[in-house]
Amino acid sequence: MGNQKLKWTAEEEEALLAGVRKHGPGKWKNILRDPEFADQLASRSNIDLKDKWRNLSVAPGIQGSKDKIRTPRIKAAAFHLAAVAAAATITPTTSGNSSPVATLHRSGSSDMSIDDSYSIVVDAKNAPRYDGMIFEALSALADANGTDVSAIFNFIEQKHEVPPNFRRFLSSRLRRLAAQGKLEKTQNFYKMNDHSLGTRTIHVARPKEVNAKPHRQTNSQGSSVSHEMVCEASITAAYKLVEADSASDVARLAQEDVERMIILQGHADEMLIAAREMHQLCCQGNIVLLN
């Protein structure tokens, strides 16, 4: 008779958020069943998770009613990271965005009873996007002797929005591409080779303001609904991160995410496979700008 009106602890909220990030919103029972979150949410039912998620989703929405979202200044860095990560993604109506967290763990075992495709979708699109910018820069600069990191950085940094420590990421990525033979490196200068263009050109079109009409097809309504939920959840997650009071924590999180991204870039081929799966999933009812 006592466990009623239990206030949600920070640990529980965190577990819920992580669970949604992994399984997607609406998979309350799966989250609850996942041993990763089972203990934190031991005293919560699937319906409780749903209610809590609904509350979290409404909280940041009490903004100006009709005005745009108040840009939280400092936290713009974190928000920006999320936006960049979301750059090439589904664009349903007006609410297109992505989760700020990247946690790609792809287990080859197919005996997993729970569906992990959600987290794959969130993460897989980072590598191709930056590769595209790199190739774009090299193509535009087109120096026969090659281009050094700084020049590449300057080009991308002006043409696109870049994360705080993009410079560091760029160096790492360039080395990787050179090691894979997708770029040619001499001294500290990089340039494209036949392999860069000939193979699977990972060119990602920028959504910009692609006002993708709902384009709902009668035969694929099930999947489109699912994606709406995904987007809503992502927005909520992004807001929650942005709304966090401690700016330092937010900055640290953003930093960590970038580090994760750098690591993830190493497995370009796996990422490509994941990207293909993402495409398969998303193009059923929504538009995906991925080539």
Partner DNA sequence: GTTAGGG
Partner DNA sequence: CCCTAAC
Mask 38-77, x = binds DNA (CB under 7 A)?
Answer: ------x-xxx-xx--------------------------
CB of residue 13 vs DNA: minimum separation in angstroms? Answer: 12
Give yes or no for residue 4 binding DNA (CB under 7 A).
yes
Using the minimum distance from each CB to DNA, give the nearer residue, 181 or 214: 214
Mask 13-32, x = binds DNA (CB under 7 A)?
Answer: ------------xxxxxx--
Mask 214-233, x = binds DNA (CB under 7 A)?
Answer: ---------------x----
Cα 164 from Cα 150, distance rounded (Å): 15
119 neighbors 21 (Cβ within 8 angstroms): yes
Could you tell me how many residues of this chain bind DNA (CB under 7 A)? 18
- DSSP classification of residue 9: P
Q: How does strand 189-192 pair with strand 147-148? A: antiparallel
Using the minimum distance from each CB to DNA, give the nearer residue, 3 or 109: 3
Concatenated DSSP letters of 156-223: HHHHS---TTHHHHHHHHHHHHHHTTSEEEETTEEEE-HHHHHS--------TT--------GGGHHH
* Cα-only R_g, the chain: 20
207 neighbors 87 (Cβ within 8 angstroms): yes
- DSSP classification of residue 291: -
Helix axes 10-23, 46-58, angle to 10 degrees: 90
Give yes or no for residue 10 binding DNA (CB under 7 A).
no
Using the minimum distance from each CB to DNA, give the nearer residue, 94 or 248: 94
- Of 227-286, which residues contact DNA (CB under 7 A)? 229
Using the minimum distance from each CB to DNA, give the nearer residue, 59 or 205: 59
Give yes or no for residue 203 binding DNA (CB under 7 A).
no
Using the minimum distance from each CB to DNA, give the nearer residue, 6 or 74: 6
Q: Residues in the site for DNA, rule: CB under 7 A?
A: 3-6, 8, 25-30, 44, 46-48, 50-51, 229
